[in-house]
Amino acid sequence: MLKVLTVVGARPQFIKAAAVSRTIKAHNDSLLERKSTLIDEKIIHTGQHYDTNMSNIFFDELDIPSPDLNLSISNLSHSSMTAKMLEKLSELFLHERPDIVLLYGDTNSTLAGAMAAAQNKIPIAHVEAGLRSNNHLMPEEINRVVTDRLSSLLFCPTTLATNNLTNEGYPFRINDTKKQKIILSGDVMYDVLTYYQESASKINLINDIPLEDKNLITCTIHRESNTNDNDLLEGILDELIDLSKTFKIIFLVHPRLKKSKLISNKKFQDSNIILSDPLGYLEMQRLLMSSKFVITDSGGLQKEAYLHKIPCLTLRDETEWQETVTSGWNILTNPRDNKLVDALNSFKLDLNNYENFYGDGNASQKIVDGLIEYT
């Protein structure tokens, strides 16, 4: 039996874990028909995302097994949160002694899981290895670089990600007999979209959002560099209000932004902007299906926009999903430049110039196979 401890804590990780956990269950269910290794997976939720719309709803609608343990660690600074997670996960790993720790992405939960596993000499499998924005001031970049270095199994979503690792000198030696293993798995988010696309397309109503509108823009802003500076945030919001003269904007308000005095119905009452709580996975995919553009500072949403063949405007100077930019479907813009409208008007897309960078929809199977073969 292969004992796997999966550590998740944030919205994108719940979605990714849905694909792999479903494949693990299918693998175990098929053992009567073929000889293979039974996988005992336990899911640990750090509590990093605690809001219902950012956490619980994903376990419900994506049929993810309920977490075996919720550490309830949230609403702290990056350093305090990571330190608390590291302490709790180290204790848990010592008690459970898993064969491997499975981590996703680049959050504080990812970093804490990697450090706790490494200190306890437990192999680490990192899903979404090799991504690089090359901005080492971003917490996410620090998290992914450190996690890659500590991991034994590196599951890369794209060819570019594998190239990033080899250019940095990977694979490195783990011990006297073993090196890290790099596997081009494809992207688990593509797996999830492929699996749930039909269900999402059947959703006809999402709150007060006019899905039939042909000029919808889906917008999210959550990155601290954009939300913690009131002058910068106000400039972004004013640009959105200006843009709403042409488009109807669905602004999905992150829990962090709800605390801002700048986010109020009064500010937007004369605009064509609808404020909404974050959506569950299926509703979010349905909204994207009806959107003409996406404006975001999220890493994952850039990629989801690309998977839906929707042009995306990213409020950052860099991205870890560089292929979305080089292909022309994603434009990076510094929010301090106040050029949202100009950037949106600069799209010159050839709709036939679309390449699937993210695999064949079987990334989760390659990950499960990789776990079994490695251990």
**Known catalytic residues?**
222
In the chain, DSSP assigns E strands to: 2-8, 39-45, 69-70, 100-104, 124-127, 153-156, 181-184, 216-221, 248-253, 273-276, 291-296, 312-314, 330-332
- To the nearest 10°, the Cα dihedral for 314, 318, 324, 329? 40
Distances 317 to 28, 322, 333 between C-alpha atoms, Å: 44, 11, 6
Q: DSSP of 275-288, one letter per residue?
A: EEPPP-HHHHHHHH
CA distances from 162 to 106, 179, 318 (A): 16, 15, 19
Measure the CA dihedral 111/114/115/121, to 10°. 180
Backbone angles phi, psi at 248, to 5 degrees: -90, 125
Distance CA 153, CA 60 (A): 29
Name the helix (H) or strand (E) containing 310: none
Is the link from the previous residue into 210 a cis peptide, with omega within 30 of 0? no
CA-based torsion, 57, 61, 62, 66: positive or negative: positive
**Residues 133 and 318: beta-carbon distance below 8 Å:** yes
Strands (E), 278-356: 291-296, 312-314, 330-332
2-8 vs 39-45, strand pairing mode:
parallel
Alpha-carbon distances, residue 110 vs 8, 137, 182, 298 (angstroms): 7, 17, 18, 17
Q: What letter represents residue 69's amino acid?
A: L
Give φ, ψ of 25 to 5 degrees: -65, -45
